[in-house]
Structure 1
Amino acid sequence: MKDLLDFTHESRQVRVVFRPGAATTATAGEAAGLGLRRLLVVCGSHGAATARAVADSLGPACAGLHDGARMHVPVEVADRAVEAARAAGADGCVAVGGGSSIGLGKAIALRTGLPLIAVPSTYSGSEMTPVWGLTEHGAKRTGRDPVVLPRAVVYDPELTLSLPVPLSVTSGVNAIAHAVEALYAPDTSPLIALMAAEGVRAMATALPAVADAPDSPAARGQALYGAWLCGSCLGATTMGLHHKLCHVLGGTFGLPHADTHTVVLPYALAFNAPAVPDAVATLARALDTTDVPRALRDLAVRLGAPRSLAELGLKETDLTQAATETAGQAYANPRAVTADGALAVLRAAYEGVEPEFPAP
């Protein structure tokens, strides 16, 4: 029988609150509902003011604020945060900010088992996944553990009103990447396909609206809605070539997280496209296009995102090492990834050429 359904889908419970103003009006209630009475609030230095407002809203339940989050979660940064949580006698953690802050909150949860509440201020979608990442000795390692999945996520579109348009765009395309890979993951399902298509549609619609009117709560809310769906897709499926490349480029070469995802996505998808026609067809409908990789590249570049890895500071002499590291890691991917194949993707992304690869 053609198209016989055959899949496994696992759901993990996360309570989601989504409304304007929720960061300072709902977080305390979510903590109380979880029975938490001493919360460490973690953030990065750039988001300290927002995190302080959330901390103040917790009242006596706030045990302290730690603003040491850094991109790619260096292991020494995680060590300091864990020490801060233990010194505060925290029974839970609230991560306020983007992927770096939420990643640090996950590192605390991984080491201590403390429940995590996420209050995201960007569109990365990390808050909806049990995926953690730590960088040590120039290499980023990732894993999955249910303990790092936030118990509650508080989405407040007002928190993203001040997010600069360039960061909004790259953060949003980063989220799209999660949905794209979920569509052709070995553990995808019909539910994931529905969420991925809607997440991509929502984000691709929202980002131009955000660029046109950065202070529009409606546009910001639509982008945050898309991030929720795209992040949920990543949380339920296995990562492939795209994420493998980005982890190497970020962990080993220090490239900025969201920018790297934005540049790499069209090329990783173009490489895999011949092996996943159904996923490409779903994306084509969501984006109303006949050329999905080019449409994704054009969307990002039209809104001011970087076009190439060279713009992000990668050296041409780094390409071979990055390709070798990528091919040497075990990730599920619909098309076999050799060092030569990874190098071809990286070189195209480095040069910013049209995202086209011959079928295998």
Structure 2
Amino acid sequence: MSGLTFVDVCAGAGGLALGLERAGFEPTLLLDEDEDACRTLRRNRPHWNVLRTDLLDLDPSEHPEIYDVDLLSAGLPRVRSSATAARAGSSGEEELLRATVYLAHAVRPRALIVENVPTLVDADVFHDFHEFARAELEHLGYDFSWFLLNAADFGVPQDRKQGLLVAIKKQWFKAFRPPAPTVGEHVSVGTALAPSMRSRGWKDADRWAAQATCVAPTLVGGSKNRGGADLGPTGSKRKWEKLGVNAHTVGDETPGADFVWDPELGRAGLVKITVDQAALLQGFPESWEITGKKTARYRQIGHSSPPPVGEAIGRAVARALRS
């Protein structure tokens, strides 16, 4: 597939954009308000047109490259977990959701993708946004679908459910089908991280990997108002502990040859996941460089849409647009 174009807002570390690129789309503009995220995008794709700005401040008339594109995509920040989404109220996240629909009103792409927390699909807290989006999108000539995907079904070693809104102009929407899983068996944490765990000669790497036989809990990037990086809320930390991982912090490097892995010792005997390993668990390729300090890098990863999911959605949309 080639020749399809897109604009990506709240692009973050580029997970959704990378997936769409793999699906045959070429970006005309990517924007994000975070300096580290913009630096990450430029580092990995110097030819991409990256704009540092807040979506709420974007004036479409100043950027003609956003018009006449096939797709508008938005992988909006997942600051709030599914458990706390019920307290969203009049939140910044909903402002971004509405701003994305308003931008579609200005840009008039043939298709729109909005990705966020799974509760986006059917939680009462998003009822007003659903009604707003329905009225706007129907007025603009789109049909649309709300659905859930789990990144684990697309080869990502993580239990990461995603809520999606896909809207396509009526003449193409009838050919759209949500993407089907691309793997028959989920990739475990041990399988995904064993090579990196061995990289510094850690003698217990294979023993650790052999017991880490399930996918990871959902990585949560956290708010900029929080402290240092960790692997999520209390429930997630307990799941990580069962995998032999200390989730209360993010490691600076993989274990060395002398590290003794012994869960009986408590946190001191558990292995730590590094930022680079978190990127692998999010489905980024090893070649994708996340820039910034440790906490900023981890936050970019936790907020990203996994590239394999972005690719699957992009291919499903591309098939419809080419029908």
Q: Which has the higher contact order (CA 8 A, sep 6+)?
A: 2
TM-score > 0.5, shorter chain as reference = no
State TM-score, norm by structure 2: 0.31
- TM-score, with length taken from structure 1: 0.28
* Structure whose residues are more often helix by fraction: 1
